[in-house]
Structure formats: structure tokens, C-alpha cells
Structure 1
Amino acid sequence: MKVDIYSKPSCSLCDEAIDVVERVRARIPFELRIISILEDPAAMMAWRYDIPVVVMDGEPAFKHRVDEAAFEARLRRG
């Protein structure tokens, strides 16, 4: 599974989401990209009011906060 996190620097919610995703990644391997909306104009237009956004295999799965158990369950479902 591919997981993308749309975030920006100095965003405490983004840092929390990344921490949650990395904890799960330590147990279940998956491909992870962290994308700064400041460096991607299309992402800025799409997500600027919703970061962090966790996208799993191309589908937005979590916005603002990531529940660790729900994220892990979704990974296991594939």
C-alpha cells in the first residue's frame, strides 16, 4: 500500500499525524511519502484547509487527525 501525507512545516497536527503513521509503519511496512503543500501548487489548492491529509492508495482516508487503530485496521484490510 502507498500512503501519502500532505502537510506543511510548523504544523503540529501534521507532526502528530506523521508520528502516528510512523508508529504503525514500524509494525506494518508500507511505502510512505510526506508531501509539503508549500512545494506542490495542486496540493496547496486541494488541501490547504484540511492538512494533514493522509491518502491511502490514492484515496483520502484521514484529515486533521489520524486515529492509530483505524489507520492500522485500514492498512490490514488493504
Structure 2
Amino acid sequence: MTSSAADVPARVLVLTRVGCHLCDEALRVVAEVCAETGDTWVARDIDEDPDLRARFTDEVPVTFVDGRQHDFWRVDAARLRQALTEPGLRPA
């Protein structure tokens, strides 16, 4: 489930860009894992923000969990699931 700006901040952020096949795959994996865990996620297009575009242009998709960079280029479902469910890694 994606999150809107009015919601509690999403646990997972995916930085993407239009036309990126790796981004499409990352979004699919994130959606599936977050549906399993019940966590929220949101995607942002880096081309809509000059700072994000400058910083991440060669690394998309980039995933963040709880505000910390988790991965780039590919999202491993098992690794993301572990980050979202492992005790001690969830926010208080």
C-alpha cells in the first residue's frame, strides 16, 4: 500500500524515474513485501527534485527503510522482508 503525504511517514521509500525497468521491478518487489508485512511505502521520482536527481541519478532505484538507505539498483525481497520484520530493526 502506498502512503500519502497526510499519512504517517512510510517505512519504505523507493526513489525511481520514469522509463527505468529496474525501478518497475523494484516497485513490484516492494509492493509485494510490504503487503506481506503490513508496512507502508511510497515512491518518489528523482527527476522531480534536482537535489535527488544530482545525488541518485546513476543508482535508481534506491530504497530506504526507516530513513536509512537500504539498497540500490535491485531490491532483494528476503533482505527487505528481514529489514522490516527483524526484532530490533523496527522503529520504536
Structure 1 length-normalised TM: 0.93
More helix by share: 1
Larger radius of gyration: 2
RMSD: 1.0
Unaligned runs of 5+ in 2: 1-9
> Among 63, 75, 78, which residue is 2:84 paired with?
75
Partners of 2:23 and 2:53 lie apart in 1 by 14
Q: Give the length in aligned residue pairs.
A: 78
Q: Which amino acid aligns with 1:44?
A: R
Structure 2 length-normalised TM: 0.80
**Per chain length, whose mean CA-contact separation is higher, i.e. which structure has more relative contact order (CA < 8 Å, sep 6+)?**
1
Correspondence 1:62 to 2:71: yes
Where do 1:41-52 residues align within 5 Å? 41-52=50-61
Following TM superposition, where does structure 1 have runs of at least 4 consecutive aligned residues deviating by more than 6 angstroms? Answer: none
SS of alignment partner, residue 16 of structure 1: helix
SS of alignment partner, residue 18 of structure 1: helix
Q: What is the match of residue 46 of structure 2? A: 37
Partners of 2:39 and 2:51 lie apart in 1 by 24
More strand by share: 1
The alpha carbon displacement at 1:35 in A equals 0.3
Q: What is the match of residue 21 of structure 1? A: 30
